[in-house]
Amino acid sequence: MYTVILRALSVLLLGTLCVATQLYDRPAVKQLVVSKRAPTIRSWEYVDGFPERIAVFQTVFWEPRDTNSMRELIETTDLVRNKSVLEIGTGSGLVSLCSLRAGAASVIATDVNQNAIENARYNANALDLGDRFETRLVSVHSAGAFSTLIPTETFDIILSNPPWENAQPRSIDEYALYDRDFELLRSILLGVRTHLKPGGRLLLAYGCCDAILTLEQLAPQHGLRVQRLDDRRLDDLPEVFVPGMLVELLPRKGCF
Ligand SMILES: C[S@@+](CC[C@H](N)C(=O)[O-])C[C@H]1O[C@@H](n2cnc3c(N)ncnc32)[C@H](O)[C@@H]1O
């Protein structure tokens, strides 16, 4: 008799467990549906001086050595503290995240790649830095450095690790590497006076001799000069190199 009751109880318990497991499984199925719609994370990365891992989405650029000097300057000085920052071409958001961490009052980050915009936003939210952060998608058809800004929008600090080489991008991920006829570079030179506040600073990370020499050649036409914040000589470097070289765009006389 007791054996029969025990068997009946164990069948009941097993049944309850099955139902409970199915119920428990349902949110997992829902999560799967949500994650299918989210952009795909290509990899998780760690960077020196940045304790948390950073997500990198499909088609989004990842080479943190490009911005070693820029990030060191942000992390070890008051460059961005309580300042408004614009980052042109944010990619995964790495430089913007550093700026937010270093106490920037606000950061606006642009990119021509929709995945980069979502990637930067994702990382900022994941690191709880999203409230001072805004992203703007640049149209490939109107891809000037300041094309998403209105003329009265000005910043204390403008930062960029622009695409380095003079070539035509053939896919959205190639916009990270190629800047045909250095159009983005030229548009930075054209718009810097409009969008930098008095006393503001504009810093670029470039790891390409051609890009740095072009910048130095074009800058005087805009009343600007280029200061290399790096001990290396271009003559000693290959045409394309890492870590990138930090350069600052300054007015030829006085300050912005
Ligand atoms: C060399 S990657 C740098 C990414 C990121 N800042 C970093 O250092 O890891 C250049 C970025 O600029 C973006 N880009 C290219 N042309 C652009 C444009 N006209 N306006 C805004 N972003 C652009 C690319 O999509 C890419 O994300």
Cβ–ligand 1 distance for 169 under 6 Å, the answer no
Q: Are 157 and 200 in contact (CB under 8 A)?
A: yes
The answer on 126 and 29 residing in a single domain is: no
Q: Are 188 and 88 in contact (CB under 8 A)?
A: yes
Query: Can you give the pLDDT of all 256 residues of the chain as single tens digits?
Result: 454 454 555 544 444 443 343 333 333 332 333 345 567 999 999 999 889 999 999 999 999 999 999 999 999 999 999 999 999 999 999 999 999 999 999 999 999 999 999 999 999 999 999 999 999 999 999 999 999 999 999 999 999 999 999 999 999 999 999 999 999 999 999 999 999 999 999 999 999 999 999 999 999 999 999 999 999 999 999 999 999 999 999 999 888 9
Q: Cα–Cα distance between 248 and 44 in angstroms, integer?
A: 31
Cβ–ligand 1 distance for 55 under 6 Å, the answer no
Nearest to 89 by CA among 162, 180, 27: 162
pTM of the model: 0.87
Range of the domain at 153: 41-251
In a domain, 256, yes or no: no
Cβ–ligand 1 distance for 206 under 6 Å, the answer no
Q: Cα–Cα distance between 176 and 174 in angstroms, integer?
A: 5
Distances (CA, A) of 111 to 13, 98, 154, 191, 241: 56, 17, 18, 17, 23
Cβ–ligand 1 distance for 161 under 6 Å, the answer yes
In a domain, 150, yes or no: yes
Q: Are 215 and 232 in contact (CB under 8 A)?
A: no
The CATH number given to whatever domain includes residue 243 is 3.40.50.150
